[in-house]
Each structure stands twice: as structure tokens, then as C-alpha cells.
Amino acid sequence: MEKNKKRRMAIIASKGTLDWAYPPFILASTAAAMEMEVGIFFTFYGLTLLKKKIEAKVAPHTNPAMPMKMPFGPKGFQDFDWPMPNLLMGNAPGFETMATSLMKKTFKNKGVATIEELRSICLDTGVNLIGCQMTMDVFGFSKSDFIKGVDIGGAATFLEFAMDADIQLFI
């Protein structure tokens, strides 16, 4: 490779839960800070991460290994891993919302950036955010549902960008 050519990373973001929303934005913002050229193709549930308001939640009942931590109280209380029976998680109304708000609070306590912050850094540092046209049609999204600066494309758009990428990830 010529010396002056920028390294490139191509990511497909296909999931829309809070835990799966982090990796694409963390890696993309960091790669941009490492002077790489970065593109993320948002498809299927990943497309919701381009919406003006991100409503990503955690899904405890499909992730039985998820540690359940309390983000307040004494250290021993916070470090305790609460056993949550799947029956309760799957059926209690509002359980996901509660678990999401506890998880977000824990992230904040640990100095982790929010998805919105990382997304905004991605935009500021020139990461290409590409929405999948087909998924938009299927879910009934229009470009006006998304933040400014998003491009729209399909499989060929992603493949042309990924063809010359040093790193390709499907998330």
C-alpha cells in the first residue's frame, strides 16, 4: 500500500439494542482518532441508531449472562450480581425499561460515554454513516427520521467502500 493512503475500516451495524449499539460507535470514533477512514453501514435493527432520538434498550431476557448491578448504594451492594429469574424478566411489564435505566446509570458512573456522544464525535470526525435503503423501505423510515449527515445506500454502496478496507466488521 502507498504510504500516504489512509487505512480504512468498514463496519456493518445490524443490531439496535444498547449493548450492540456501543461497539460500532466506539470502534468508529477510535479509528477516526487513529486517522483512519471509517464507514458504518446501518442495516436492519442497526438502522434505529441513526434516528434523531436513540431509544436503544438492553434485552435482559434474551441475554441470560447479563450482570444485573445496582448503580447506587454502598460498594458491596453495587458489586452484587442480582439473580434475575428469566420468568420474571420476560414477563414483568417495564422490566427492560428499568434494566436499561440501571445499565445507563452504571455506564455513567463508570465514565462511559453515551451512544449519542459517541455518534456525535463520529460525525464531527468524518465517519461516514450510511443507512440501508431497503431496510428503510421495510420499516417505513424516511431520511428525515435520521440525524443530519447520513448517507443512504445499498449493498453495492457498502461493498465498494469495504473492498479497499483494511478492517471489515459485521456487528
Partner 1 sequence: MLNAHQREVDCQGLSCPLPILKTRKAMDELSSGEILRILSTDPGSVNDLTSWSNTTGHILLSSGEEDGIFVYLIQKK
DSSP 114: P
CB of 35 to partner 1, least distance (A): 6
Binders in 25-54 for partner 1, by CB under 8 A:
26, 29-30, 33-35
CB of 126 to partner 1, least distance (A): 12
Q: Which is nearer to partner 1, 70 or 121 (CB)?
A: 121
Stretch that binds partner 1, among 38-46, 51-59, 104-112, 129-137 (CB under 8 A): 104-112
Stretch that binds partner 1, among 69-77, 79-87, 98-106, 113-121 (CB under 8 A): 113-121
4: contact with partner 1 by CB under 8 A? no
Residue 42 burial class via C-beta count within 10 angstroms: exposed 0-12, middle 13-18, buried 19 and up = buried
Nearest to residue 131, comparing CAs of 72, 66, 44, 69?
A: 44
- Rounded to 5°, the CA angle 111-115-117 comes to 75
**N-terminal to C-terminal alpha carbon distance within the chain:** 27
- Pull the grid cell for residue 58: 438492553
Q: Which is nearer to partner 1, 101 or 125 (CB)?
A: 125
Q: Which is nearer to partner 1, 45 or 69 (CB)?
A: 69
Sequence-separated (6 or more) residues with CB below 8 Å from residue 80:
69, 70
150: contact with partner 1 by CB under 8 A? no
